[in-house]
Structure 1
Amino acid sequence: MTHDPLRVSLIGLGKMGRIRYEELCKHPGVQVVAGADPDSTKALDDLDYESDPAAILKSDVDAIFIATPNHETPDFVCAALDAGKHVFCEKPPGRTVEDIQVIMEAEKRNPSLKLKFGFNHRYHAGIQEAKRIIDSNRLGHILWIRGIYGKCGGEDFENSWRSKKETAGGGVLLDQGIHMLDLFRLFCGDFVEIKSMVSKSYWDIDVEDNAFALLRAAEGRVCMLHSSSTQWKHRFNLEITLSDGYLSVNGILSSTRSYGDETITVARRKFDDGFDTGSPREETIYFDTDPSWELEIADFVDNIANNTPVHPGSSQDALKAMEAVFAIYKNDDTFWQESGHGE
């Protein structure tokens, strides 16, 4: 059975909007119609340009991809849904838990439409291989997880909209660490207890530049997170220790390649009294391509074409991620009050 091409337009033509545009153009079942951004310098030579996003909302398209600053996201998502469009939106879904709740109300008003959020890390090859290994039970059950995700900020970091509470809602945890929290949920399920310390340790900004958290999931499994914008050498590391072994996803293929090669290292535990005790033989797999953007978009197109449920990246996934972020903020009462979140 063949389907007409999915007619898609974009709101927001910054870094993420351009990445999505390039991947949409590769999909044989998609026709990219137009893009909107108030900054005309972001217009693309081979894409019809609109300065006013309202023109996109009123246009005859099937779906809209939204890649805007956090403070604009909820209004655009709700408007697109109420205009009868399927929506793919970059994470996070706004600045607060209340923002995603408002979006979910719009989703309920339009039950025939699909809404997906961009948690592309679940689609990375290293993460998918980790999930396959864990689901096979060959290394037993998960005991604990430790995740480090950090970047260095940069020369213009303090002036970015991502570093301002008014436009972003939070700092590195909400911007980047939310991906690691989503991966914790992928492997361990929902959190039942959270302890944290959050700080503004280096950058002159009104949001956090470091977050440290312990999160207890069902069955007592504990996840440890460090999310940082003072990680002077970019780093992604996800360690998962199981009853019969362990695995570690190191590096993640990004557009800048600054996080290094993406690999997964796997080993079985050794309790022998011999030489291998505490130093098991490891196997490392290297990944040289990043399929995450392509696979994520393909899932969304398939959801629409075949009327299948959105997963992962559902509004419920987005809600749970936002609830975890703000539970981490609130658990550190000093940070919560001093940062003005409690106002």
Structure 2
Amino acid sequence: LSSLSKLKRFAYHPNLMGLFKAQLNYVFTHCAAEEETLNDEQIVYVHCQDMRVFDAEAMANPYIQGMPSLTALNGLAHNFERKLKNFIDPSIKCIGSAIYIENYQLHTGKPLPEPSKLKQVAGRSHVISSGIIDKPKCDITLDLVFRLFVPNEEILNKLNSQLIKPALPSTFAGGTMHPPSLYQNIDWCHLHTTPSELFKNLKAKSSNGSWLYPSKKVVKSFEKLIDALNCNFNLRPAAIGFAALEEPVKRDGALHEYHCYAEPVIGLLECVSNTSVKYAGAKQFFHNAFWVMDVQKESMLMKKSKFEYE
């Protein structure tokens, strides 16, 4: 009621508070989703909790400052998949990844570069710092959930946390990623073969953070982006990939045979509280929370993973 101009005066009316409390109590006691049986023998989940990222790039593209680009999530998942293929078996695939942000802190100062250049003054060599470049950085505490496709039980038996931990990359979005501090004494990496077991652990997460869901809303202009953000305060602008500005052609000096110029794409993500995830149920979470990179001839965009349980 408080968000509607014509109904603001009724939002905290004494006669309505009793009704509001009764409805809220009903939600908490009756509306929790029933335990759902989800099963797929070839799908397993890796849950890494309370990971700490330092000095991540907070400017995803020239237009957005805040959260790192979501393409960094795909890069992390791809790097993780390559290491698992190398350590365990080439048939393992990462077919989706979800992210939960618990803490976020944007750096306010400008970091001073380490001395790295030699300069001679009066016949003596001095090491000086390079110029200061204003690149916003941030520190993040997050949870990561990777959905892995494992073709058979033989490979599944090889999977364990002792092999998964070394395969997890140590960088994310240009920053350094660390597991929780040893003082916290947390078993931070878990392998789950049943979705219900994983969801039971996720429900216990703090309600202070947010899951970053792919948004169902598509915007095709800056004006529609602003309208969408004003209509839904849970939506956030995000860098979701790149769109080609031309057909790929051969160019001298390019790293690959064909090259094209591209522009970063701004899309939407939805911030979903852990309380909402809990009451929506496991099926909604596993259908809606996972991201995957969709590569087309003209674009590379982060989108919702199309995997679904029956």
User: What TM-score bracket applies, with the shorter chain setting the length?
Assistant: under 0.3
Q: Which has the higher contact order (CA 8 A, sep 6+)?
A: 2
Q: Choose 1 or 2 for highest CA Rg.
A: 2
- Normalised by the length of structure 1, the TM-score is 0.23
Higher helix share: 1
